[in-house]
């Protein structure tokens, strides 16, 4: 399974709008670009935090703001980069990163068509909420493209547990 310790992560494409100071005003929106996970993350220790959606209640109020505020604690433990991913488009992810004052400390990226999360077996069907298939809420620690730890908050429980900043820090 792709989430087992030592497994190589899938090589998929992500979308993003790289942070730039002029984005902070909210008056410009930036230009989307893409990257491939294997090219971007090779030789690095990466934390990927996946969410069902930007601006959704748990993600917006409990999950991502503490992560952004405490990102320096992750970096102090040897993490090279932190990514927040969702199926939302790069414009939404960029705006949400700006809203969270992430600047260049946390990358907010689009898991295009949830391809990365699907390959990990980590999607959730929120059709009953008219949201369709989404990336699940999970945290993934990667070192040189290999899974160090994977923890998911299963289903639509409305609870943040395994993917929280506190849990991630304990596992590093």
What does each C-alpha distance from 40 to 43, 50, 82, 120 come to in angstroms?
9, 17, 12, 18
20 pLDDT higher than 60: yes
Would you call 29 a catalytic residue per the annotation? Answer: no
What confidence score (pLDDT) does residue 125 get?
Answer: 75
What confidence score (pLDDT) does residue 126 get?
Answer: 73
What is 7-171's CATH topology?
A: Glutaredoxin (3.40.30)
**115 vs 128, more confident:** 115
Annotated catalytic residue, options 58, 59, 87, 120: 59
Q: How far is CA 75 from the centre of its chain?
A: 16
What confidence score (pLDDT) does residue 60 get?
Answer: 63
CA–CA dist 76, 55 (Å, integer)? 28
What confidence score (pLDDT) does residue 62 get?
Answer: 62
The enclosing H or E element of 115 equals helix 115-120
Residue 134 near residue 116 (C-beta atoms within 8 A): no
What does each C-alpha distance from 124 to 49, 79, 97, 121 come to in angstroms?
15, 27, 23, 9
Query: Which of 6-15, 56-65, 78-87 is least confident?
Result: 56-65
Residue 84 near residue 109 (C-beta atoms within 8 A): yes
120 pLDDT higher than 70: yes
């Amino acid at each position: 399974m792709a989430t087992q310790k030592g497994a190589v992560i899938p090589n998929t494409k992500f979308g993003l709008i790289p942070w730039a100071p002029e984005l902070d005003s909210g008056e410009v929106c930036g230009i989307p670009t893409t990257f491939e996970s294997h090219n971007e993350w090779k030789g690095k220790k990466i934390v990927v935090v996946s969410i069902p959606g930007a601006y959704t209640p748990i993600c917006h109020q409990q999950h991502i703001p503490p992560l952004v505020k405490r990102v320096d604690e992750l970096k102090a433990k040897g993490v090279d980069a932190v990514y927040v991913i969702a199926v939302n488009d790069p414009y939404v992810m960029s705006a949400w990163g700006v809203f969270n004052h992430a600047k260049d400390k946390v990358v907010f990226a689009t898991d295009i068509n949830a391809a990365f999360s699907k390959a990990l077996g980590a999607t959730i069907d929120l059709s009953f909420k008219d949201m369709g298939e989404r990336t699940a809420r999970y945290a993934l620690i990667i070192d040189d493209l290999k899974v160090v730890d994977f923890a998911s908050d299963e289903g639509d429980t409305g609870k943040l547990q395994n993917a929280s900043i506190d849990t991630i820090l304990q596992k590093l």
